[in-house]
Amino acid sequence: MKTKILALSLLLLIVTMCVTSIPFVNAVGKNDWITSYTIEDYSTGQVLKEYTATGEKSYASILPGTELKVTFTVNVFTSGDGNLKLQTSMKKVLDRFWELDTLDYELGSSYSASSNPTSFNWVKGEFTMIAYGSVPTSASNKAANVTLVKLSSPSGEMLDQIVVSVVSAAGDQYQTLLAEKQDKLQSLIDSGIAAGYIELYTNVLNQSEVEYSQGQVDNAIALLNGLDVSSEPVSSTMEMLFLPIVVVTAVVAVIFVVLFLRIRGKVSYFQLVVEDQIKDLEGLTLRASKIDRALSSNLESIKDRLKRLVGM
């Protein structure tokens, strides 16, 4: 009988512990406390980034030293013992870090708008808060994560946070330029540009990303700028269509030169034919110069030799 009573007592104790622990487990669940936020440039009012139930949207890069206004909504879905804590990695720019935008939520006496971190009553409810501050500056040009808002439990465990990637002006320039070059690469692939050029272009892009990852942003930008050319090489398709024409023309020209040398008695006739071929070569050379300079130079050489043969 005593054994049964002891076993029942232990069972009740275990059930009680499980039941009482349920609210706390929910309370420390991450990423479901801050339900929405909007990040604005405090000086201009421009929205840089926002998060709602439909997802996250970015409109502009967040640069070091930018003064921000971060409006966020916190859903305290259960009450608990102790005080929850708010803190930010931003530097103070006003006489306060925090501003409560909701009138029906009581933060309690532990809350201080000018303190970082600050704490407030752990009471069930929902409120909207505004955080003010400037983004920390860094000597590095590499992108870095900055915590604009962090919500913690009484024990210091992180419940939710707003973290953004901050990049320097040079880093922002690189990211913009990289996106442009990646789009250009795709357009080159779609247009069938020669495979060798595509491989070279891709290698330069990859090397620029390596340089950027090592903090050599100026080198990375220089590599991308080096991809700016007046015109890309002929496409693989055009190359295949163009070369047979060149070969045929050159062969015909050679044949007529040979005939011209063999049959000197018919000089006037063959001279006229060769002159016609020279005119055709001039047009072909002009078109080739817009596609491949080396090919154009070879055609120009053939044309000059023909001119010398017929005395033009």
Tokens representing residue 239 in the block: 């190359």
Output the pLDDT for position 159.
Answer: 94
Q: For the whole model, what pTM was predicted?
A: 0.53
Tokens representing residue 193 in the block: 């540009």
Output the pLDDT for position 2.
Answer: 42
Q: Is 283 exposed, middle or buried (0-12, 13-18, 19+ CB in 10 A)?
A: exposed
Q: What angle do CA 226, 227, 233 make, to 5 degrees?
A: 130
Output the pLDDT for position 14.
Answer: 40
Cα torsion through 23, 27, 32, 38, rounded to 10: 140
Output the pLDDT for position 141.
Answer: 65
Which residue ranges of the chain lie beneath pLDDT 50? Answer: 1-30, 236-247, 249-250, 258, 261, 264-267, 269
Q: Which of 220, 227, 229 lies closest to 172, judged by CA?
A: 220
